Amino acid sequence: MHVVRLASETDFDGWRRAARGLRGAAVAPSDVLWTVDGAGDLFGETEEPAAATECFTVPREFVEVAEQAVLHSSGERFALLYRLLWRLASEPELMHIASDPDVARARDMARGVSKAVHKMKAFVRFRLIEDAAEETYVAWFEPAHRVVKDAVPFFVRRYANMNWSILTPDVCAHWDKTRLVFTPGADPADAPSEDALEDYWRTYYASTFNPARLKIAAMQREMPKRYWRNLPEAGLIPELIQAAEGRTAAMVGQTPSEPSRRVVRQAQRLSRDGSFEEGAPATLEEVAAGVDFCRRCDLWRDSTQGVVGEGPGTARLMVVGEQPGDQEDLAGRAFVGPAGKVLNQTLEEAGVPRAEIYVTNAVKHFRHELRGKRRIHQTPRTSEVTACRWWLDAERRIVRPRVIVALGATAALAVFGKAVPVGAYRGRALSLADGAQGVVTYHPSFLLRVPDEQEKAKAHAAFVEDLKFAWGLAA
């Protein structure tokens, strides 16, 4: 029996070296025991793996899956990956056989790890240490898998100018504005429990909680209970759920956010006609579930979450913005920040009920640059707009609005698939390939930036006019 002792639970390089040697020396998976240094001397003497006698390459898909799966908390991962590596020698196409139990398990692990990285980015909550010499923040977090080292670059980028530590049971990460240091795992008691930030989170969460969109199962999928105990806002959830029914009834106008059965059927028919892209989402729920895990461009890396559209799945009018801003990225909802206030106000002035329209963005993740602690908006690149059209097109196919309003140049590029100068084309009905009418107008952020008061008033009036026009066209 060959016993391999890896340096740590996440020692991918060590696993790769050992696995190469073992496969090169034709050591069968059943003759190998994988363990981690310091995990107890359960296996007696270690027999070093034989040196490789043969050079071989492995498919890129295998390496990608292995790099992630190795971070999974399951004790079987090293052995499973070696079994796959062994089998690849005689089954080079193995990674493409989705029904193979080893392949399915490894892919499942890789998916679980990628999800855990995402959850860590979304659910770490820092607390201020009152008596530290310098302002310092500490968070306690229990990731589902060993993903701390994969997730911390995100926190370094986002909180570059703060001192912070993230404590977890396996490993702790500490950032002092210049250096990232890892230390062994900690105890929950090492993290502070309450401070003023808790109230901030609770207020913030309660204000973004939308009772009409309450889907308990989906919410628990997105915010699994295992994370609740370290989330200050989680204490509010039972109360908010209980109150949701009453609050929903009180809301002005109901806003069904799911497509009707007719729309779903239509989407499925389109699918059979071949005009519906293979694998494309057929419902708004599928869009919502997919956007968060989208890797069509790199914007997901620095954003908190993907933000999809909101509104009835049968809306006659769709309004498309550019991308979520800072507040939208945190809240996970489109147009809830300053631009959203302007949009709401102009919609009201134009007599367009927001509850009856579908509001979304051309790009679903927040493109920004960090300046100090602030995240400064950056216009999405054309390549990002093009990549994200897949989602906007899916929303368009599902909702099938009669009229689509593009707010600003980025939205126009996404809606029309080519640059449309807003100044020259605003306020007119333009034909779209899918039979809808397109209208381009200003972006609400533009109104916030016009320095001259008279010009601002003119732009505001034009924006109201354009929305009124679009609503009339959609009637």
By C-beta, is 302 or 322 nearer to ligand URA?
322
The contact pattern for ligand URA, residues 230-269, with x = CB under 6 A and - = no contact, is: ----------------------------------------
Please give the size of the binding site for ligand URA, defined by CB under 6 A: 13
Binding of ligand URA at residue 170 (CB under 6 A)?
no
Least gap, CB of 342 to ligand URA (angstroms) = 9
Which residue from 143, 142, 145, 67 is spatially nearest to 106, judged by alpha carbons?
A: 67
Stretch that binds ligand URA, among 189-197, 252-260, 333-341, 367-375 (CB under 6 A): 333-341
The contact pattern for ligand URA, residues 371-410, with x = CB under 6 A and - = no contact, is: ----------------------------------------
What is the phi/psi pair of residue 117, to 5°? -65, -45
Binding of ligand URA at residue 322 (CB under 6 A)?
yes
Distance CA(24)–CA(217), nearest Å, equals: 48
CA Rg value for the chain: 26
By C-beta, is 346 or 445 nearer to ligand URA?
445
* 381: helix, strand or coil: coil
Least gap, CB of 345 to ligand URA (angstroms) = 14
Question: 49 — alpha (psi -120 to 50), left (phi > 0) or beta?
Answer: beta
Give bridge partners of residue 406 from the DSSP assignment.
Answer: 320, 440
Residue whose pair of structure tokens reads 């895990």 in the numeric block: 293
Least gap, CB of 293 to ligand URA (angstroms) = 20
By C-beta, is 334 or 388 nearer to ligand URA?
334
Nearest residue to ligand URA by CB is: 321
The count of residues in the chain is 475
Residue whose pair of structure tokens reads 């210049």 in the numeric block: 178
The helix (H) or strand (E) run that includes residue 284 is helix 284-291
By C-beta, is 237 or 287 nearer to ligand URA?
287
Least gap, CB of 107 to ligand URA (angstroms) = 33
Binding of ligand URA at residue 324 (CB under 6 A)?
yes
Distance CA(29)–CA(6), nearest Å, equals: 16
Instruction: Please say whether the beta carbons of 362 and 322 come within 8 A.
Output: yes
User: Beta 2-6 vs 32-36: how paired, if at all?
Assistant: parallel
Binding of ligand URA at residue 331 (CB under 6 A)?
no
Binding of ligand URA at residue 321 (CB under 6 A)?
yes
Instruction: Please say whether the beta carbons of 189 and 228 come within 8 A.
Output: no
Which residue from 300, 438, 443, 279 is spatially nearest to 364, judged by alpha carbons?
A: 300
Instruction: Please say whether the beta carbons of 125 and 231 come within 8 A.
Output: yes
By C-beta, is 312 or 321 nearer to ligand URA?
321
Stretch that binds ligand URA, among 104-112, 283-291, 329-337, 466-474 (CB under 6 A): 329-337
Would you tell me how many other CB atoms lie within 10 Å of the CB of residue 327? 17
Kindly state the tokens that stand for 277: 């892209």
Binding of ligand URA at residue 112 (CB under 6 A)?
no
By C-beta, is 143 or 325 nearer to ligand URA?
325
Residue list 335-364, contact with ligand URA (CB under 6 A):
335, 337, 339-340, 361
Kindly state the tokens that stand for 349: 């002035």
Binding of ligand URA at residue 323 (CB under 6 A)?
yes
Stretch that binds ligand URA, among 1-9, 38-46, 235-243, 330-338 (CB under 6 A): 330-338
Which residue from 190, 151, 154 is spatially nearest to 71, judged by alpha carbons?
A: 151
Residue list 418-457, contact with ligand URA (CB under 6 A):
445
Least gap, CB of 329 to ligand URA (angstroms) = 9
Instruction: Please say whether the beta carbons of 9 and 36 come within 8 A.
Output: yes
Binding of ligand URA at residue 330 (CB under 6 A)?
no
Least gap, CB of 394 to ligand URA (angstroms) = 18
Distance CA(404)–CA(346), nearest Å, equals: 16
Distance CA(229)–CA(8), nearest Å, equals: 28
Least gap, CB of 255 to ligand URA (angstroms) = 17
Please give the residue ranges that form the binding site for ligand URA (CB under 6 A).
321-325, 328, 334-335, 337, 339-340, 361, 445
